[in-house]
Amino acid sequence: MKYHRTLVPCLMVATAMLGPSRAFATTSHVIAAFDEAVRHSLPQTIHISTRQTLGRGAPAGSTLTITDTLDVDVRFPDGTGAQTYLATFDGAPAVVTRSTDHLDVTVTGADGIAITGYEMSSNAPHRIAEPHAGPARGLAPAAKRTSLAPARAGAARAGNDYSLLSPNEAPPTLNLWIFLHDDTAAVSRRHIHAGYVAWWLADLKRFVPRHRFRVNYIDRREGMTDIVYGDRNAAITTWTKAAQGYEMRANLPYAPGRYEHKFMLVTRDRVAPSTNGVAWHGGDQAMASLAGPWSIVAHEFGHTLTAVHDDSALWWSYVWPCATNLYPTHFGVTTNCYRYTQANEQLIAGYLSRKDDSPRPMASAGATLTMVE
């Protein structure tokens, strides 16, 4: 079966405090209460108190109910991992990402994405704003990591890259390699994940439940995270060659429909004028900008999984229309549906379940590949 590549440019906020669970009253800290809850069989509910910090007269609070764990592996650039949970936050579907001293609750809705984050050093939540005001706009600053030396070109930092199972030892697995451009250094990697990626992975698991998803964030890689961009064709060509070189040096195993890899470079500014992202249709490389909407990663990785603009749609949500993930244009008056259409879900599921021995499509194959935005 042949796959054609096409290059496509594309493009809260809970204020409540998570207080001690009634079932787990050993501590008042949000993260500790969460950890205690998930040690028990799910579902479990953490009761939320706003009066604890806002004083008398404040709303009584909310609830976070953790319903299930997801078979999603996440590794951040500092080598630490994260666990992903399905949840509801005041009855709304949510995704929780728990990593070291951090916890983020991501809720998608008609008003956009709401992210409430907590750190072990404070019981007060921090809010993550919508991404459209510019790259440093509301996404929290990255933690300082002065103890880490710059990586050598082509060298792996300890704990940064996966020790990969062979295709025969693992369930069907999609490895997502997200390289963070040097110009995103001021932005929290955990909040990039919470806003752009966590909800998308949960939705993928909904319609591709048998697959395992592994996300590896990598930064500060000479020749990869420092490439010049601004011209669409030149940028994706340079990035494709860099990603293919990384894959060859790492000798990553590849088995269509069972074990494969997709590579994305995340930039601070637009990939090119009026272009928030670009990808090879049915290929392995993509680029996405933090200047784009929360759905930009889902859009561009969706193209690599063969989803297309033609099968996207505008749906009505409350009084405003929402655009599905592959809708080609972002309008300020629309929200995102944070879903693919059924037609694009079927394309993605079919691509991930294929079992053929056809050669892997390469960006240098000329007419067999298509760039899409």
At 160, list the tokens.
């940064």
Residue 312 pLDDT class (50, 70, 90 cuts)? confident
CATH of domain 30-138+168-368: 3.40.390.10
Which residues partner with 224 through β-bridges?
Answer: none
Q: What sections of the chain are H helices per DSSP? A: 30-38, 51-54, 189-192, 198-207, 232-250, 296-304, 342-353
Cα angle 237, 239, 245 (rounded to 5 degrees) comes to 105
Q: Exposure of 141 by Cβ count < 10 A (0-12 exposed, 13-18 middle, 19+ buried)?
A: exposed
Considering the entire predicted model, what is its pTM? 0.83
Answer whether 207's CB lies under 8 Å from 167's CB: no
Higher pLDDT: 299 or 371? It is 299
Residue 28 pLDDT class (50, 70, 90 cuts)? low
Work out the mean pLDDT of the chain and round it to a whole number: 79
Task: List, in order, residues 6 or more apart from 42 with CB less than 8 Å away.
Answer: 66, 67, 68, 69
* pLDDT of 349 above 60: yes
Answer whether 89's CB lies under 8 Å from 106's CB: no
Residue 143 pLDDT class (50, 70, 90 cuts)? very low
At 234, list the tokens.
């030149």
Lowest mean pLDDT among 26-30, 73-77, 345-349: 26-30
